[in-house]
Structure formats: structure tokens, C-alpha cells
Amino acid sequence: MAPKIQLVCCLCGKKAPQTKDVLPLDAEWRRRHPRMTGTIACECAYSGRWYWRCDNNRANGYDPEHIRKVPGGCIDSASHVEGAHPLTAAVLRFPESALRQGAHEYIRHTAQGRWASPELAQRLQKALAEWEGAGAPQARQVTKAHR
Ligand SMILES: [Zn+2]
Ligand SMILES: [Zn+2]
């Protein structure tokens, strides 16, 4: 049986619930919140705590340093959320982030598992090798578990 996914939200540091969707964030989030560990957030990404607005009044429609990502333009931080993903899907799509956020047991298990396609297994093994090569940095401490 696969180990449970341990994943700490990149913004608030709380443990992501197993049964709720998570919200992968794009590079603009990382620029605005440079202390983020990884890019997979819990639903707190939609809260006022982390909110920012893309400045559409500037000549080019964005802040000068804005990292363009959103097709058709963007309004605020919510525009830069990749959309809700089930936890497993987010971890397998963004293993580099997930490793830094605490999901290494699950990723290691899946990378060796029989059900993973050769392509997926290879991608996970590559991410694991890079993470271990960097000294396997742990996610920051869990501040408080979700209810
Ligand atoms: Zn959070
Ligand atoms: Zn924007």
C-alpha cells in the first residue's frame, strides 16, 4: 500500500488534507512570496492573507517584473492559481515541489511502484535524484494541522 501523502502547504505551512483539492501556484506567486517552499498550496491561496493584485493600469497591463503566465490576462493572485488538483495529481505533476513540501515517502514509493508508467517513474526518479543531490532539504515545520 502506498504511504499517505505528507504535504505541507507552501504558503501557510499547514498539512494538506488528504481528501481536499490543492492549488498549484505559478511562478508569479513565487516572485511575490519568495519565502514559499514549493508551489503547492492549500485553499488558503484564495484567502485575503496572501492576496495580491496584478496592476492592470500600467501601460503593458502588468507590473514591470510581472511573470506572464495567464492566457488572456489576469486580475489578481487567483488568476495565477493553476486550478484545483486532487492531492495525488498535484504531487505527481509537480514532484520537485512536492519533495520540498514533505511528500518524499510517497514519491519514492510511487517511483518504484509497478503501477507507475515508465515515463512517470523516470520523471519521479529524476526529481528524487535532484532533491537528494541538494541534501534532501525538508519542508519547513508544520505550524498546525488542519481540522
Ligand atoms: Zn495553506
Ligand atoms: Zn498577473
What are the backbone dihedrals phi and psi of residue 22, each rounded to the nearest 5 degrees, phi first? -115, 170
- Tell me the per-residue pLDDT of 79-127, one tens digit each, with 9 for 90 and over: 999 999 999 999 999 999 999 999 999 999 999 988 899 999 999 999 9
- Tell me the per-residue pLDDT of 5-31, one tens digit each, with 9 for 90 and over: 999 999 999 999 999 999 999 999 999
- How far apart are the CA of 46 and the centre of ligand 1, in A? 9
CB 40 within 8 A of CB 7: yes
What are the backbone dihedrals phi and psi of residue 82, each rounded to the nearest 5 degrees, phi first? -70, -10
Q: Is pLDDT larger for residue 3 or for residue 59?
A: 3
Number of domains in the chain: 1
- As a whole number of angstroms, the longest Cα–Cα distance in the chain is 54
- How far apart are the CA of 85 and the centre of ligand 1, in A? 14
Q: Within a domain: residue 146?
A: no
- How far apart are the CA of 76 and the centre of ligand 2, in A? 6
CB 26 within 8 A of CB 82: yes
Which range of residues forms the domain containing residue 72? Answer: 23-133
Q: Which amino acid is at 69?
A: K
DSSP letter, residue 24: E
Q: Which residues contact 78 (CB under 8 A, 6 or more apart)?
A: 45, 46
Q: Within a domain: residue 107?
A: yes
Residue 75: all three cell numbers together: 486580475
Q: Within a domain: residue 63?
A: yes
Determine the pLDDT at residue 140. Answer: 67
> Over the chain, what is the mean pLDDT?
89
- Tell me the per-residue pLDDT of 107-116, one tens digit each, with 9 for 90 and over: 999 999 888 9
- How far apart are the CA of 48 and the centre of ligand 1, in A? 12
User: Which of the ligands is closest to the CA of residue 12?
Assistant: 1
Q: Within a domain: residue 46?
A: yes
CB 120 within 8 A of CB 140: no
Q: Within a domain: residue 95?
A: yes
pLDDT band for 147, please (50, 70, 90 cuts): very low
- How far apart are the CA of 6 and the centre of ligand 2, in A? 30
Q: Within a domain: residue 103?
A: yes
pTM of the model: 0.88
- How far apart are the CA of 114 and the centre of ligand 2, in A? 40
The label of the residue with cell 511573470 reads 67
Q: Within a domain: residue 64?
A: yes
Look at residue 43 and tell me whether its pLDDT is greater than 70. yes
- How far apart are the CA of 15 and the centre of ligand 1, in A? 8
Q: Within a domain: residue 42?
A: yes
